[in-house]
């Protein structure tokens, strides 16, 4: 069958656990879960491809191309790359689990969600918009906001009476002004920032490739925070979730501080210095530690 692709899975992977994680997220509009499989519209350079992802045995992912009928080899590779990035499939988690299973803070979460990968946001523009839209608001509302944004400006295809959305392109957003986003319930400043970032991406001032070439998290943070609307928290979010740096500790993240407070049963939130000390023992795996700690919040 030439409408199937497969990806061989790494050892520490549990499809059902990852599926449950996606199910439990507030509606992101970017995928559907049906019959224990994930359906998502993936953007390739030659058009949108609707894909269905599942796994029977945790040895391989089976990707079924639902639409269109035929896609090029190049598109197939883009899809494989996207999914590999999305589920962080290149990462060997054995050392992390060795570290975490003996750690008094992480052991319990890691046991509960064993086989969960750090679910990423492969598309840089999506990651930037998601971060900016969700600055300083609760997660549930943030998801709703992101959804409004997607359904206002994103493309979609309808398949078996279900609409599948893709995240709005920066080309499209670059042509907008604040008035077009009047119905999006966020600050005018965030709208300006998003449009401004879209323009910078459209003229290739900001590209994922350029950032990756800097090859140094601190330099990337420095570069990103030059852009209006991107502060330290957003830059770290991008490093973790979109550029896939494994050792980012988001000490500026309120949710993370709350998670630690809760697990450690502290009377108040730990301060930055305490968190830095804590993360010291998770060196090289800070991003995974943070991702699993966030799991304790919902």
Partner DNA sequence: AGCCAGGAGATTT
Partner DNA sequence: AAATCTCATGGC
- Confirm whether 14 is a catalytic residue: no
Footprint on residues 132-191 left by DNA (CB under 7 A): 134-141, 144, 185-189
Torsion of CA 178, 179, 181, 185, to 10 degrees: 90
Residue 11 binding DNA, by CB under 7 A: no
Tell me which H or E stretch contains 162.
strand 162-165
If the CB atoms of residues 49 and 197 are measured against DNA, the closer one turns out to be: 197
Give the count of beta carbons closer than 10 Å to the beta carbon of residue 73: 7
Task: Supply 215's token pair.
Answer: 């090859």
Contact 153, 96 (CB under 8 A): no
Closest separation in Å from C-beta 102 to DNA: 26
Contacts with DNA by CB under 7 A: the residue count is 34
If the CB atoms of residues 37 and 135 are measured against DNA, the closer one turns out to be: 135
Closest separation in Å from C-beta 12 to DNA: 21
The CA distance from 259 to 230, in Å, is: 24
Footprint on residues 270-289 left by DNA (CB under 7 A): none
Helix H, strand E, coil C: the string for 107-130 is HHHHHHCCCCCCCCCCCHHHHHHH
Burial tier of 234 (Cβ tally within 10 Å: 0-12, 13-18, 19+): buried
Residue 32 binding DNA, by CB under 7 A: no
Closest separation in Å from C-beta 154 to DNA: 20
Tell me which H or E stretch contains 4.
strand 4-8
Alpha helices in 87-231 (DSSP H): 94-101, 107-112, 124-133, 139-153, 170-174, 188-202, 208-214, 217-224
Of positions 28, 54, 247, 252, contacts DNA by CB under 7 A: 252
Residue 230 binding DNA, by CB under 7 A: yes
Of positions 235, 239, 260, 293, contacts DNA by CB under 7 A: 235
Of positions 118, 229, 243, 282, contacts DNA by CB under 7 A: 229
Give the count of beta carbons closer than 10 Å to the beta carbon of residue 241: 22
Residue 43 binding DNA, by CB under 7 A: no
Task: Supply 235's token pair.
Answer: 């830059």
Residue 225 binding DNA, by CB under 7 A: yes
Closest separation in Å from C-beta 28 to DNA: 11
Residue 253 binding DNA, by CB under 7 A: yes
Give the count of beta carbons closer than 10 Å to the beta carbon of residue 204: 9
Closest separation in Å from C-beta 282 to DNA: 17
If the CB atoms of residues 91 and 146 are measured against DNA, the closer one turns out to be: 146
Span from 91-99, 108-116, 213-221, 252-260 in contact with DNA (CB under 7 A): 252-260
The CA distance from 40 to 43, in Å, is: 10
The CA distance from 285 to 245, in Å, is: 9
If the CB atoms of residues 45 and 136 are measured against DNA, the closer one turns out to be: 136
Catalytic residue among 14, 161, 216, 253: 253
Of positions 219, 254, 266, 276, contacts DNA by CB under 7 A: 254
Closest separation in Å from C-beta 296 to DNA: 11
Tell me which H or E stretch contains 32.
strand 32-34
* Active-site annotation, residues: 253
| Binding interface with DNA (CB under 7 A) | 134-141, 144, 185-189, 225, 227-235, 237, 241, 252-256, 258, 294, 297
């Amino acid at each position: 069958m030439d409408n199937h692709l497969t990806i061989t899975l790494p050892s520490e992977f549990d499809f059902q656990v990852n599926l449950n994680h996606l199910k439990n997220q507030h509606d992101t509009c970017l995928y559907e879960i049906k019959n224990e499989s994930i359906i998502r519209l993936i953007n390739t350079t030659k058009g949108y491809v609707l894909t269905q992802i599942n796994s029977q045995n945790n040895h391989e992912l089976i990707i079924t191309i639902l639409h269109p009928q035929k896609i090029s080899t190049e598109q197939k590779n883009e899809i494989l790359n996207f999914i590999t990035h999305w589920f962080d499939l290149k990462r060997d988690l054995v050392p992390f689990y060795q570290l975490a299973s003996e750690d008094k803070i992480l052991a319990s979460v890691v046991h509960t969600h064993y086989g969960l990968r750090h679910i990423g946001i492969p598309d840089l523009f999506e990651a930037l918009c998601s971060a900016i839209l969700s600055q300083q608001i609760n997660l549930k509302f943030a998801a709703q906001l992101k959804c409004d944004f997607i359904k206002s400006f994103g493309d979609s295809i309808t398949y078996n009476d279900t609409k599948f959305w893709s995240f709005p392109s920066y080309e499209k957003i670059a042509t907008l002004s604040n008035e077009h986003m009047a119905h999006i319930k966020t600050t005018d400043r965030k709208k300006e920032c998003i449009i401004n970032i879209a323009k910078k991406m459209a003229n290739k001032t900001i590209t994922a490739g350029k950032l990756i070439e800097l090859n140094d998290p601190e330099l990337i943070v420095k570069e990103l925070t030059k852009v209006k609307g991107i502060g330290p928290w957003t830059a770290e979010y991008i490093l973790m979730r979109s550029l896939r740096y494994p050792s980012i500790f988001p000490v500026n993240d309120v949710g993370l501080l709350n998670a630690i407070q809760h697990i450690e049963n502290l009377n108040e939130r730990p301060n930055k210095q305490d968190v830095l000390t804590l993360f010291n023992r998770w060196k090289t795996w800070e991003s995974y530690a943070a991702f699993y700690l966030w799991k304790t919040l919902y």
